[in-house]
Structure formats: C-alpha cells, structure tokens
Amino acid sequence: MNRQGILGFLFFCVLTAWSASAQPNKQAQLEEKRQSILEEIKQINSLLFKTQGKKKSILTNVEDLNHRIAARENLIKVTNQQANLLTREINENRTKISELQNELEVLKEDYAAMINKSYKSKSQQSRVMFLLSSENFLQAYKRLQYMKQYAKHRKEQGESIKEKTILLEILNKDLTEQKQKKQVLIEENRLAKEKLTSEKKDHQELIASLKKEEGTFSKQIRDKQKEADAIDRQIEEIIRAAIAKSNKESNTTTAVKTSSTTFALTAEAKALAASFMNNKGKLPWPVEKGVVVKRYGKQQHPQLANVTTFNSGVEIATEANAKARAVFNGEVMEIQQLKGANMAVYIQHGSYITVYNNLINITVKKGDKVSTKQNIGTVYTNAATGKTILKFLIYQNRDRMNPADWVFQM
C-alpha cells in the first residue's frame, strides 16, 4: 500500500472510530432516559393505581391519569428518538460496508495481479539475472532496492486486505445487532401506543363527567387551595419567628444589628449553608421511593380552564408506611402540629430550611442534629384515598425555593 493509501485508510479508521463512539454515547443517554421513564411509570402504577378498595373521586382519577399519560407520551417520544438514531446508524453502517466491499475488491484484484507478476519472475535465477544484467553498481543497487520495496508492498497489501476484512466483519455484526435492537424498540413502542390509546379513552370519559359538573369540581379545587394557603401561612409564621429569634440573640451579643428578614448565622452555620448551596441539584429525595404528583409554583388546571392553583413545594406520592428522611445535614428547628393537617418537621441548614409536611410518628425532637438520609418520621396514609403523600418545601430565609432545582433528578 502506498503512502497515500495508508493515510486514507488511517483517516477512514479514525472517522469510523469517532462516529462509532459518538453514536453509542447518544444512544446510551437515550436508553438511560427510557429506563428512568419506565421506572417512573412503574412507580405511578404502584403508588397511584393500586389503592384496592378505595373509591377515588373523578378529580383524583383525572389527575392520576394525567401523570400516567404524560409519562407514557414521554416514553414513546424517547423510544422514537432511539429508533430514529438506530435507523441513521444502520444506514451509515450500510454505506461503510458498501465502501469497504468496493475497496476490498480493488485491493484483492491488485494483489492478485501482483502475485501473478511475482510468480512469473519468482525464480531465484531470474532475480539474480535481473541484478547481474545491471550496467553499473548504482543501477544494481537501485534494482535491489526496488525488489525490497516490491516485497514490502506485497506484504502491506496482504495486511490491508486482512484489516479491511476484519473491519467488514465487525460492521456486519454491528448491523445485525442494530436491526435487532430497532425491532425490539418498535415492538415496545407499539405496545406503549396501545396502552396510551386505552388510557386516553378512559381519560376522555372522565373529563366528560368532569365537565358536566365543572362548577362543583372547580369549587372543590379552590377550597383545597384555601386550605393549602392557610397551611403555608402557618409554615411561614414559624420561619419568621425563628429568624426573629436568631436576630434577637445575635443583637444581644454584638453591637451590629442584623436583618430581620434573614437568619443571623454563626461561622459554623454559614459553612453549613454554603455546603447546602454547593449541593444544589444533588440532594437526595426526601423519601426513598416516590413520584412527584404536584409540582412547585402556579399551574393552570389541564381540564378546567378557569382554575389555577399554586403549590409552595412539591407533593410526592410514596409507599404506605414510607419514612421521610432529611435531605441534608442540619438541626431540627421545629416540629409543628399544623391546623387542619398532620405534623411538619423543619430542619435548618444554616440559612436554608427544609420542611417535611404530613408526617406521623416523628422520630426526632427539636434541637436534634440530623444527618443526610436520616429517618425523621412516617408519611401519613389517607384512609379514604389510600394515598401516601409527602409535601416537601425548601426555603432560603423567608424565600420559597423550587425543590426540583435542588433534589437530584426531580
């Protein structure tokens, strides 16, 4: 193989290697996402749809189906992306295989011609005569060098044929595997679409019932919002009181007055707050297993056009008797019996506070130092609905934070 041919082959190998590494990385990311959605659907089915003997309201049924349909649509979208990526990979491999086959054919023809020529002049006597017939020493030397280069070229051609043959076998194997993966994904997508069609049919029937009594259901949602707002005010009053207390204690020991809207922190508390901040997006879930059923912030009801709700934290459906756990090291600031609700545990992490609402059987007390993932109580299960819901909130001083920004993959 000449220098140009070697460089071309090396470039092809590098290009193939780069393409081969880039595509699987993307495919691996999509597969990880698909598995995550499958786990989410599994948890939705387990936590929202296995409340045997419990009669759920139309509103609750609609909300639960909203979660499952959204997850199923997301699954179909990701699976389609995987199948499309595999289609591109298959087409690329087919192109590479075709190019390699053509190159291999040319190499074999060239090699066959070289072998044939070599056979005709293969005798030692012919080679000796070729050297002895030289007109001078310089010509003899050049002929000797030519013979060496010719032999080397033959060897390189043979190695190139071997390398391309191996590469062709690898590409053919990859192509077969890619086709099989694509078929599996297509079948899974078909089943997911069938389930989605059935779920949407049930969903439409429920929505039709909902629309018939829209006024009644809208009032129910607004009444629940008022109850949630009242609980939020109780939580915020506790935080205001804690901030005021920290400032009062600080102002008695220093001449510099501190703000009434932020905690007066010791050096240790400042370091804890900085550590909490550095773990933004990496905090563990406040329950071991769960799915978010109500997200943070203002949201338009998907079926009732005139109804909007606001959630000061996130609501997480979990298993019966699930334990709530601290998401970071800190100190139990308060344990509160909320009016119209169950117990809430407040854990302070410097200037940050995490609140765990709807608990029973609290296992910590005010002033306790707690560590990350330490159990602090049991999440209450509603006897009527069979659901176990933890409401989780994060504050920085008196400012609400979106827990989804802080908790890993929420």
Classified as helix, coil or strand, 368 is coil
User: What's the Cα-to-Cα distance from 365 to each of 164, 268, 307, 334, 336, rounded to whole Å?
Assistant: 71, 21, 39, 8, 11
Model confidence pLDDT, tens digit, residues 149-167: 766 766 666 676 677 677 7
- Which pLDDT value is given to residue 114? 60
Give mean pLDDT, residues 295-312: 88
Model confidence pLDDT, tens digit, residues 58-87: 888 888 888 999 999 999 999 999 888 888
Local confidence band at 1 (pLDDT 50, 70, 90 cut-offs): very low
Verdict on whether the full-model pTM lies above 0.85: no
Residue type, 318: T
Domain 227-405 -> CATH class:
mainly beta
Give mean pLDDT, residues 107-117: 65
Closest by Cα among 57, 54, 48 to 217: 57
Burial class (CB in 10 A: 0-12, 13-18, 19+), 21: exposed
Q: What is the spatial distance between Cα 74 and Cα 82, in angstroms, rounded to a whole number?
A: 12
Give mean pLDDT, residues 353-361: 97
Contact of 89 with 179, CB cutoff 8 Å = no
Give mean pLDDT, residues 348-355: 97
Which CATH number does the domain 3-212 belong to among 1.20.120, 3.40.50, 3.30.1420, 1.10.287? 1.10.287
State whether the Cα torsion 249-252-254-258 is positive or negative.
positive
In this structure, of 98-107, 129-138, 323-332, the range with the lowest mean pLDDT score is 129-138
Give mean pLDDT, residues 372-401: 94
Contact of 390 with 318, CB cutoff 8 Å = yes
- Which pLDDT value is given to residue 340? 74
In the beta sheet, which residues pair with residue 335?
A: 345
Local confidence band at 207 (pLDDT 50, 70, 90 cut-offs): confident
Q: Which residue has the tokens 């030692």?
A: 124
Q: What is the spatial distance between Cα 180 and Cα 168, in angstroms, rounded to a whole number?
A: 19
- Which pLDDT value is given to residue 111? 62
Give mean pLDDT, residues 288-299: 93
- Which pLDDT value is given to residue 254? 59
Model confidence pLDDT, tens digit, residues 237-285: 999 999 999 988 877 665 555 567 899 999 999 999 999 999 999 999 9
Q: What is the spatial distance between Cα 199 and Cα 14, in angstroms, rounded to a whole number?
A: 48
Asked if residue 190 has pLDDT above 70, the reply is: yes
Give mean pLDDT, residues 300-316: 88
Q: What are phi and psi of 401, to 5 degrees?
A: -115, 155
Give mean pLDDT, residues 298-327: 91
- Which pLDDT value is given to residue 141? 67
- Which pLDDT value is given to residue 132? 62
Enumerate the domain spans of the chain: 3-212, 227-405
Percent of the chain clearing pLDDT 70 (strictly above)? 78
Q: ∠ at Cα 37 (391, 46), nearest 5°?
A: 55
Average pLDDT, the chain: 83
DSSP designation for 357 = E
CB atoms within 10 A of CB 291: 20
**And the tokens for 44?**
């939705």
- Report residue 265 CA to chain centroid gap: 36
Range ranked top by mean pLDDT from 334-338, 339-343, 400-404: 400-404
Asked if residue 134 has pLDDT above 80, the reply is: no
